[in-house]
A and B are shown apart, each in its own frame.
Chain A
Amino acid sequence: MSDLATEIKQLIIESLDLEDMTVADIESDEPLFGDGLGLDSIDALELGLAIKNQYQITIDAESEDTKKHFASVSALAAFITASKEG
């Protein structure tokens, strides 16, 4: 597991108050919303804000790609890496 993925999992747990969860409980490739972790639309906004604050990247709420970036921890890690390079 990459350091960035672990960092994102930690951020998910802290920003979304997932009190009973640890980094090990979140699979990097499982869906974050709906079936997998079971996050909802408020979580999406909260997580977007946390990522924006921690990594100083802009997230376009209107963009169709944003949905893909938030699909899983792995997708988020790829998105953050690409945004920081770009």
Chain B
Amino acid sequence: MSLLDRLTEEATRRISSETSRRSLLGLVGAALVGGVVYPLLPVARKSNNADVDNGTASDAPQLTSVNDPRSCDYWRYCAIDGWLCSCCGGSHKSCPPGTVPSPVTWVGTCLNPNDGKSYIISYNDCCGVQGCGRCSCHRNEGERPQYRPSLSNDINWCLGGEQLAYNCSTAVLIGEA
């Protein structure tokens, strides 16, 4: 479960005990829409350990999910933050139609559990269309304030290109680490 999901669930659970069903539905609706927003900002986050991104220690991914580009557990996504292009008309290595790859990117080093090797992954963003809003994958491990901009997920990294609007994120394999 992503941090976003946990935050949303916690907030919803907390508020649900204090609000009517109707207002809760309004909140949940807002939370779902809000969920579209929070991971909008791609992160340049280092992979602190060269291990598969497990979400939480007690939430170990199954092998099927670590090989599923539509899952936040996909092994290449160990340092990603955003909406997965695989759910938005693209794939883990292609942008959706109509978008433009961002020239600014960041890399992570991820362990492929299938061959036991580590690979350098480039997290290019796809820009020029408003936020996709599907398959959010967001973590704050190693995230740092903006005085370390390459580690900050408060920055919209589409800003380096011709198109400012962020749509989704890819995970392109660069080579063996």
Q: Do A and B bind each other?
A: no
Q: Which residues of B contact A (CB under 8 A)?
A: none
